């Protein structure tokens, strides 16, 4: 079997063709971010097909019902624009589903026609289609540029633009976590509370896309940042943006328009990136690192030093989103592993530069590509194999064809569970990542070792 058995070893130059892209489309990111607002209904301003695709991808990853509405473009709207459709949709949405907020994102079609969401919002306000006390936010998400990461970032910026600074600082810190799992957002809140920093986290999908089964359906679960909190984020003493690609635009907007100084950090995956995150938090709080946090860090360091021999020199191929890959590569290098192939489908030469900097001086040469695809990475692997794959579910074909273990990490994960519940950020998340990496490598060792070296204790 094997869907990808036909992948040739010989790498030929390809300029106008992408095969198995390491990305998906902008509105999926915008839709995911929207779920991080309490009482929000994401709305897709385009045709039904786009909305169905975005919803089903998120449903398959989070295993939760993904409710979103659509402007349902047909031939007329596709030619003359979808103003009327969106106004009609708002009528229905607010009378039937009663959300607090609608977060509208565009699609390729509505962007090509040139629909202007600000203009439509103004008209909705003037004609009473946007009821008193309800909120409309909108983000342009043309999918023929960028990726799902760009869409996420655009929607997060739209959230920041709700800020209404009063001129008086409220002592809180905004944290923009970037595209991480709901449980990762929960872990970031837990760490901030341990250090003693009062934060506003946005978006916050914790409690929304990892909510418990209670027997009672809630269209709008309890979690999410509220509009009230978003309005106050202009009064914060600072913003921590986790990830240049996912979070920096919103943080810089708050900096320039509301005078909330921003710091852009890497996502806190792995030891060093978590250290930097904790260091900024404790500086803001004006405290030393609490013992409880140092304890968790020590546990991660302990596991690294205990198991280093099994990690040393292992070659890894990794693909996904830029912010996640940067921190993961740094973590792998710190474990003396070798992230030899690194691919993202999201454009950005800065990404390639950053990965090269992380791998500089290491005993391996990294092949890195932004706007790349998994087909080419598969070809690299065929030419010079690796010991481990790290990435989303789409890697399972390569894993099977090349008989290489796969750590499912990133988006989307369509065929396994747990990613919504077990964080991989912070020190505890580092322990989980390490446990999973070691599990895969040691299972492989147990499978392949000759009987004379088959050990009970590893």
Where on the chain is the footprint of ligand SF4 (CB under 6 A)?
25, 27, 50, 53, 107-108, 143
Q: Are 386 and 315 in contact (CB under 8 A)?
A: yes
Residues 281 and 195 sit within 8 Å (Cβ to Cβ): yes
Nearer to ligand SF4, 33 or 258 (CB): 33
Q: Strand, helix or coil at 145?
A: coil
Asked if 178 and 201 touch (Cβ cutoff 8 Å), the reply is no
CB of 108 to ligand SF4, least distance (A): 3
Question: Is the peptide bond prior to 344 cis by the omega test (within 30 degrees of 0)?
Answer: no
Specify the residue, 179 or 269, whose C-beta has the smaller distance to ligand SF4.
Answer: 179
Cβ 316 vs Cβ 338: under 8 Å: yes
Task: Please state the closest distance from residue 351 (CB atom) to ligand SF4, in A.
Answer: 21
Shortest spacing between CB 345 and ligand SF4, in angstroms: 12
Q: What are phi and psi of 5, to 5 degrees?
A: -60, -25
Nearer to ligand SF4, 89 or 311 (CB): 89
- Cα R_g (the chain), whole angstroms: 23
CB of 63 to ligand SF4, least distance (A): 21
* Closer to ligand SF4 by Cβ: residue 21 or 423: 21
- Distance (Å, whole) CA 73 – CA 184: 36
Do 429 and 448 touch, CB atoms closer than 8 A?
Answer: no
Residue 81 to residue 293: CA distance in whole angstroms: 54
CA distance 64 to 277: 30
**Alpha carbon distance 334, 153 (integer Å):** 29
Return the closest-CA partner of residue 373 out of 316, 319, 317: 319
Q: How far apart are CA 118 and CA 114, in angstroms?
A: 12
Cβ atoms within 10 Å of 173's Cβ, excluding its own: 23
| Rounded least distance, CB 57 to ligand SF4, Å | 10
User: Please, what is the minimum distance in Å from the beta carbon of residue 140 to ligand SF4?
Assistant: 12
Q: Which is nearer to ligand SF4, 102 or 163 (CB)?
A: 102
* Start-to-end C-alpha separation, the chain: 34
Alpha helices for 226-286 (secondary structure H): 227-232, 244-258, 271-285
Could you tell me the two tokens for 450? 């000759």
**CB closer to ligand SF4, 109 vs 199:** 109
CA nearest neighbour of 176 among 243, 260, 255? 243
Q: How far is the CB of 58 from ligand SF4 (least distance, A)?
A: 13
Residue 110 CB, nearest approach to ligand SF4 (Å) = 9
Give the position of tokens 């292992």.
314
Q: Are 387 and 316 in contact (CB under 8 A)?
A: yes
Shortest reach from residue 150's CB to ligand SF4, in Å: 12
Six token digits for residue 99: 């959300």
The least CB distance from residue 194 to ligand SF4, in Å, is 40
């Amino acid at each position: 079997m094997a869907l990808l058995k036909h992948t040739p070893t010989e790498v030929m130059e390809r300029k106008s063709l992408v095969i198995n892209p390491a990305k998906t489309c902008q509105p999926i990111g915008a839709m995911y971010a929207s779920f991080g607002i309490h009482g929000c209904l994401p709305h897709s301003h385009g045709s039904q097909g786009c909305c169905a695709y975005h919803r089903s991808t998120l449903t398959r990853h989070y295993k939760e019902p993904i409710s979103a509405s659509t402007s349902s473009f047909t031939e007329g709207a596709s030619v003359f624009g979808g103003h009327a459709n969106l106004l009609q949709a708002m009528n229905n949405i607010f009378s039937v589903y009663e959300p607090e907020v609608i977060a509208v994102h565009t699609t390729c079609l509505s962007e090509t026609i040139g629909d202007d969401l600000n203009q439509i919002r103004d008209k909705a306000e003037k004609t009473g289609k946007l009821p008193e006390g309800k909120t409309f936010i909108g983000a342009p998400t043309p999918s023929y540029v960028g990726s799902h990461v760009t869409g996420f970032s655009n929607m997060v910026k739209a959230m920041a633009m709700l800020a209404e600074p009063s001129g008086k600082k409220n002592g809180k810190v905004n944290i923009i976590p970037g595209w991480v799992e709901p449980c990762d957002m929960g872990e970031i809140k837990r760490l901030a509370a341990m250090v003693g920093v009062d934060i506003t986290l946005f978006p916050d999908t914790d409690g929304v896309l990892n909510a418990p089964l209670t027997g009672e359906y809630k269209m709008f679960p309890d979690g999410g940042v509220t509009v009230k909190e978003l309005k106050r984020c202009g009064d914060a003493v600072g913003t921590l943006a986790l990830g240049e690609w996912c979070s920096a635009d919103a943080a810089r907007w708050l900096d320039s328009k509301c005078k909330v100084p921003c710091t852009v950090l890497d996502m806190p995956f792995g030891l060093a990136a978590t250290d930097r995150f904790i260091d900024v938090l404790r500086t803001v709080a004006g405290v030393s690192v609490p013992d409880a946090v140092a304890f968790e860090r020590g546990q991660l360091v302990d596991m690294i030093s205990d198991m280093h021999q099994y990690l040393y020199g292992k070659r890894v191929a990794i693909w996904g989103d830029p912010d996640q890959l940067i921190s993961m590569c740094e973590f792998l290098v710190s474990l003396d592993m070798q992230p030899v192939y690194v691919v993202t489908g999201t454009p950005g030469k800065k990404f390639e530069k950053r990965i090269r900097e992380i791998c500089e001086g290491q005993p391996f040469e990294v092949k890195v590509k932004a706007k790349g695809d998994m087909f080419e990475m598969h070809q690299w692997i065929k030419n010079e194999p690796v010991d481990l794959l790290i990435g989303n579910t789409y890697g399972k074909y390569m894993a099977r064809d090349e008989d290489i273990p796969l750590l499912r990490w990133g988006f989307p994960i369509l065929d396994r569970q747990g990613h919504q519940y077990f964080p991989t950020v912070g020190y505890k998340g580092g322990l989980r990542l390490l446990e999973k990496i070691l599990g895969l490598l040691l299972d492989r060792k147990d499978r392949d070792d000759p009987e004379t070296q088959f050990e009970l204790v590893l």
